[in-house]
Structures are given as C-alpha cells and as structure tokens.
Chain A
Amino acid sequence: MSPAGARNRLDVAIKQKSYRAASGGRLQVLGELALSLESGAVAALVGPSGCGKTTLLRIIAGLDHDFEGGVSIPAQGMLGMVFQEPRLLPWRTVEQNVRLAAPDASEDEVEMLFAALGLAAHRNHFPGELSLGLARRVALARAFAVKPDLLLLDEPFVSLDNALAARLRDELAELVKRRPVTTLLVTHNVEEAIDLADRLYLLSASPARVLAEVPIARPRTPHNPEQLAQLRQEIARQINRAYL
C-alpha cells in the first residue's frame, strides 16, 4: 500500500475539524490540510494566533480523535512533546519529571541532557522553584529523554524575553543536530521558524489550511542579514499571494 520509506514519515491529511460551538452551530477550526515530513525533517508551522495550530498538534499527538481525515506517525511512534506551558508535575522534582516520562533513559543520557540545557544544578528542585525559562528547559529535556521518533513543539519559547528565547533556540538546534528527529514546530514567530526549521508551512487564519511551503537553504546555520531579509520577503510574498 504505502511506499517503503513511508513508515518513518509523518503524514497528515486532514479534511476538516470542527468543534460544536456553545451556541449550537459548528465552528470549523481546520480546513483541508495536508503535509508530510520524511524522517529527520524539521518543519515549522507558521500562522497567526488562533488559527488552529495547537488543535493540529493535538490531533497529531493522538489527543483528539474527533476529526475527518487521517494521520500516520512514524513507525515506533514514540512521541516527545513540548506544550505551550511547561506542564511539569509540580509535586515531583526536575529529575523525577524527566524520568517518569522516560523510564528507559540511561543515567548518562539524562546527565547529558541536563548538561546541554544547563539544568544540572536544578535536578532536585521542584518546578515551583524554577523560573519559566528553566521550566521550559525541563520540558525540552523531558521531550528529548524519551528518544522520540516524532517531536512536537507547541510554541515552546512563547512569553520568554528575546535573549533567552534565542539562547534556548540555539540549545534546541544543537540537540536536534546531535540526534536528528522528525520535528514539527508550531510558532507565530517567523524568526524562530527560520532559525530552527528546514522548511516552513505557512498557515492561513482559521480555518487553517496550508498557504505555502517555504524551504530554508542551509537550515540551522546562522543566516546573514541579507539572506534573512530575502527569506522574509519571500514569506511575505507567499502570504500575500495566497490572499489575492
């Protein structure tokens, strides 16, 4: 049926997704939306706030089955996910939070992740004792500790200051380089998308559909201002074209 390489791919083919509105009618949040990522690809979904990006991620994560269409995730299907808020267990320490999600991770692997994300000094702290930036790092460590086949990131750096967000982006890029994993990043921040992804999917306002696919040459390497400007122009052009 499916071609040989398809087993490690992420295939999303959604016909539509709607919610029952409180007033009685149905509210469509996702339109016809198809995308597929081969193994190791890092894609960013860029779209305006409230366009249904989080809904899409929830469907891919298997948290929402009430939609028309189909989703097939990579074969083993181990998921790593970073939610919009860190979503840690407040009554367990940083280390316990990671280990409960990834009971099979070895001591070395956890050690390595904590070192890479600057968490070594905080292993025994409770989440309530961490800043938001640190808590987000714990969420990242947890997602990587499970050695995911598919990594889903839902605006992982939202509400952090620019400098900190940039540093965390670099750390994330470093982790992805070290252990390639098929990744879907949701963001409304174009810069973040350009920094991390090797391809951008531009989404329309709700009900979301894919407006355009923009490949990034030489992903996860520093872009000079000229290239950046060019990329932005290209993205703006694609968005405008889609609306015309």
Chain B
Amino acid sequence: MGARLISLALLIAVWYAGSQLAGARLLPDPQAVALAIVEEARSGALAFNLAATLARVAVAFIVAMALGSITGFVMGRSQVADRLGDPWLIVLLNLPALVIIVLAYVWAGLTETAAIAAVALNKLPIATVTVREGARSLDRALDDMAQVFRMSGWTRMRHVVLPQLAPYLAAAARAGLSLVWKIVLIVELIGRPNGVGFEIGVAFQLFDVTRILAYALAFVAVMLAIETLLVQPLERHVARWRPQPA
C-alpha cells in the first residue's frame, strides 16, 4: 500500500513538472484539473455524463460477456461449431473498432441501440476466444467423475464446469471492462449527445485540455473503484479454495 502511494505521488509530481515546462494551455497542472472536476461536479454535469457512460459500459459489457461466453463455450466443446465459427471470429477480431462503430451508426442510425451494439460487437470476439480456450482445457477426468455419479446438468455446470472456467471468465472480464470503456468513449464522441466521450469531443473542439483531463480522470477513478470494490473481492471469493502461499 505504501509503495503504491509513493508511486502515485511520483506520478503527480511528474505531471506537475511537465505542466510547468509545457505551459498550462497544453498541460494544466493537477490543481487546475482538480478544480475543474469540482466545478463540473457542482453543476451536476459530471454525474450526469459519468452515469450515461457507465450505463453504456455496463450494458455493452454484459451483452458481450454473455454472448461471448456462450459462443466461446460452445466452440470450445464442439469441433463443428469451432470450424463454423472460427472464420467469423477472425473477421470480427480484425475489423477495426472504428469500422464497426461507423457501420453500426450508418445502418441503425445514431441510436442508443446502435452505440451499444457496436461496443458489444467489438468486445465479443475477445471474450469468445478467451472462454473458448477455457472450454478446451476442461478436465476430462472431472467430466468422467460427474458422469459416473450422474450429476444433473445444472450441478455439472455450476460445480464442475464454471469453477474451471472462472479464471478465463475473470481474464475476459478484466480485459473487457477496460476495452469496453475506451470504445464507449469513441462511440459517444461520434454519435451520442451525452457521456464522457461527448464532453471530451466538445472540449477537443474548444482546445480545453483541463476539461479533457477532468473527465478522463473522473472516469478512471470510477473504474478504479469498480475494480477494487467489485472485481477484486469477487476474485478473492472465487479463488478461496486455492491453498494460500505461506
């Protein structure tokens, strides 16, 4: 904990030194950014925009994780499904995020559905690939055991399969969350009337670096809180059976 604080203090110090060198127009100092955050928070704009972005992140993340996990699991278990799905996966993986976003807006209009679908579609193939890897490495021995003892489909899923997939799901979720929020910002910049991305777009046109940093840092803080308060405790709970290193 101490080391982390020192590292954080060092980052702020470097930032401050940078702002002195580059000038407040290009890189405002930490104090100015903090003031801007407070000001935006007072007017209520910060909370409104953060909430809009967070809602999009949450929906897109859940949709992508759910669909990606299911397709990944099926592809990992069935060779036919793997052969059928693999080309699609490669196309999706290699399609630039921007192309998917622009096409979604062109085809479905500048709507919330198009925005969320575009984000989910960007995240989907990565979740699929990760979970597929997990499904491929499921332990045959435990499968046999479950079959011999005639465990029900639900019991097998809940107690035999999911715990084995947990590390892969966690990896997909981790990587996914940060990817999703970065793409949500682009989606908002291009075609939404609110959200952190929209605000950053406006600030860019006004060349207002202070506001760009204020919104970006506020949202990073939100994601950091989600990581420490939600993701990490969940991971600890899921891994509680692993023998602790002495």
Contacts and interface: CB of A to CB of B under 8 A. Distances in A.
Interface stretch (B47-55, B103-111, B113-121, B140-148): B140-148
Given A91-B163, A100-B155, A129-B243, A146 B142 contact: no
B160 interface: yes
B144 to A, nearest CB: 5
A81 B148 contact: yes
B241 A61 contact: no
Categorize the interface residue count of chain A. 20 to 34
Interface in B120-144: 141-142, 144
A209 interface: no
Interface in A127-142: 128-129, 142
Contact of B163 (A63, A81, A87, A89): A89
Given A79-B148, A146-B149, A87 B159 contact: no
A87 B139 CA distance: 10
Mostly, the B contact residues are helix
A128 B147 contact: no
A83 interface: yes
A92 B159 contact: yes
Interface in A56-96: 58, 61-63, 78-79, 81, 83, 85, 87, 89-92, 96
Nearest to B156: A100
Contact of B149 (A79, A85, A96): A79
Contacts, number: 52
B35 to A, nearest CB: 49
A156 B163 CA distance: 26
Interface residues of B, number: 16
Interface string A37-51: 000000000000000
A63 B241 contact: no
Scoring B141, B148, B242 by chain A CB atoms within 10 A of each residue's CB, the highest score goes to B148
A101 interface: yes
B148 A91 contact: no
B226 interface: no
B95 interface: no
Contact of A87 (B141, B151, B241, B243): B141
Contacts of A101: 149, 151
A158 B145 CA distance: 18
A100 B159 contact: yes
Nearest to B160: A89
A128 to B, nearest CB: 5
B215 to A, nearest CB: 41
B243 A128 contact: yes
A92 to B, nearest CB: 6
B241 A126 contact: yes
Given A87-B142, A100-B151, 13 more contacts: A63-B148, A78-B150, A79-B149, A83-B141, A85-B141, A89-B159, A89-B163, A90-B242, A100-B155, A101-B151, A126-B241, A128-B241, A128-B242
Closest 3 CB pairs of A and B: A101-B149, A91-B163, A126-B241
Interface of B: 141-142, 144-145, 147-151, 155, 159-160, 163, 241-243
21 contacts: A58-B144, A62-B147, A63-B144, A63-B147, A78-B150, A79-B148, A79-B150, A81-B148, A83-B141, A83-B144, A87-B142, A89-B159, A89-B160, A90-B241, A92-B159, A92-B163, A102-B149, A128-B241, A128-B242, A128-B243, A146-B149
